[in-house]
Amino acid sequence: MPFTSLTIITPILRALEEEGYTNPTPVQAESIPFVLDGEDLLACAQTGTGKTAAFAIPVLQRLHESHVHGEKRRIRALVLTPTRELAVQIGESFTDYGRYTGVTNTVLFGGVNQNPQTARLLRGVDIVVATPGRLLDLMGQGHLHLRDIEYFVLDEADRMLDMGFMHDVKRVLAALPKKRQSLFFSATMPPEIVKLAASILHNPKKVAVTPVSSTVEIINQHILFVDKENKNSLLVHLLKDKSIRNALVFTRTKHGADKVAKHLQRCNIKAEAIHGNKSQNARQRALNNFKAQTTRVLVATDIAARGIDVDELEYVINVDIPNIPETYVHRIGRTGRAGSKGTAYSFCNSEEQAYLRDIEKLIAKSIPVIDSHPYPMLNTEPVPAAPEPRRSGSGSPTRPQAKSSDKRWSRRPERSK
C-alpha cells in the first residue's frame, strides 16, 4: 500500500518521494488515518518501526490545512520527548516531511545556551519539539505558553518513566488546554504508562505493531563468547571486515564507551564516543560525523543512543550485553529498520551468560554462536546444578534454568547486585 492511498496532501507526498519513501510501515499505515480524522491515538510501537512519521505526517497536514494566511505563527503542536538526541531527530523529520507545507518547527533542549531557542520562539513557530526540563524552564521564564496547543504528542512514554520525568510530564499536561488532540507512543505498556495514557487520551484509537519478541526477526544476530579482557581485541578483529562500513557499538558504562573509542582510535579506526558526560555540542558533532560516515564507529551508552536514527545502519555490536533483556531489543533495533537488512554481534563473557539467557527467553529464540574467532572464551568449567530461577508474581519462571550438559552455559555466574 503506497502513501498515496492514505489521503496525504501533495506537498507532503512530494517531500516523502524526495526522501525515498513510497510505502508506509505498519504503524504509519494504521496511525495516519486515525490522526487525520482527529482521533486520539494510543500506539504501542518499538523504536525503528517508523513511529515518528506516524505522527509527524498527519500533524503537518492538519496544521497546513488550517493555517490562516497572514496570521502570526503561534505554537499549535507540542511533541514531548525524553532526550536531546531524539528531539533533534524528530525536529529534522518535521523539517524534511514539511518542507513544502510552510509549517515551521523548533527544538528545545537543555545543555546549550537558550538564547537561539528563545529568539526562534519570539519570531513565531507552529510546532515545538521539546525535552521536559528545558520546556518547563522556558515556560517559567515567560518565553512561551501552551494555551494554543491543538496537537500534543507524548513520545517514548516508557522511557520518560525510566528516566524519572513523570513529574515534569504531569506539569506540562496541567498547562495544556483541555480541548486538544493527543497522541501517545510507547514501546512498552507497564501499569504506570497505562494509567498515564488513560489520563491523557479521550476514547483513543489503539495501534499495536511489532511486539518485542518479533522486532528482531529480520536482524541477523550472532553471539561471540569471549573473555572480558579480550573484548576490545575481538572488536578490532571484527572491524577488519571492510564490508562493515559503519557500526554502532554499545557499552554498559560511560567510562567503557570512552575506553573502547580510544582503543579503536589507537588501532587507526575512526571512532567517537557519545554519552551523558559529553557536552551537547560534542554529542551532536559525533552523531553528525557518524551520519556523514566520516566517523566509522560510534560507541554509545543506552540512554545516549536513544533516538539515534541513522539511515542504512547495518551493524550493531554489543561489546557488553545489557542486564535488561528489553534493552537488547532496543539496541539492535537501531539496524534492520523499516524492513532493511541488519546484523547484530554480541560479545558475551562468563559473567554475562545469565543476561543472555534472559534475552533468548524474551525473544523466544536461541541466538546463533560464532566460535571461529581468534579470542575464544577460555573459562569453560562445568557448573553444579543451577538454583531455582526467580519467579514472577504469577508464579511462572522468568528465565529458564541452565542445563549442566549444555556447553553454551558452561558456567553460571552470580548476577551482579
Mean of the per-residue pLDDT values of the chain: 84
Contacts of 44 (CB under 8 A, 6+ apart): 186, 187, 188, 189, 206, 207, 208, 209
pLDDT digit string, tens, across residues 136-161: 999 999 999 999 999 999 999 988 88
Residues 264, 258 contacting (CB under 8 angstroms): no
Cα separation, 336 vs 323, in Å, equals 22
1/21 Cα distance (integer angstroms):
12
Question: How many Å apart are CA 292 and CA 286, to the nearest integer?
Answer: 10
CA dist., res. 395 & res. 163, Å (int): 29
pLDDT < 70: residue spans in the chain: 47-48, 68-70, 210-216, 303-309, 311, 336-340, 379-417
Q: Nearest Cα to 251, choosing from 319, 180, 204?
A: 319
Domains of the chain, each with CATH number or no CATH: 3-208 (3.40.50.300), 219-409 (3.40.50.300)
DSSP3 helix / strand / coil % (the chain, rounded to 5):
40, 15, 45
Query: For residue 164, what pLDDT is reported?
Result: 87
Q: What is the pLDDT of residue 80?
A: 97
pTM for this entry: 0.61
HEC states along 97-128? HCCCCCCCEEEECCCCCCHHHHHHHHHCCCEE
| CA angle 84–89–95, rounded 5-degree value | 125
pLDDT at 163: 84
Alpha carbon distance 90, 379 (integer Å): 46
| pLDDT at site 47 | 64
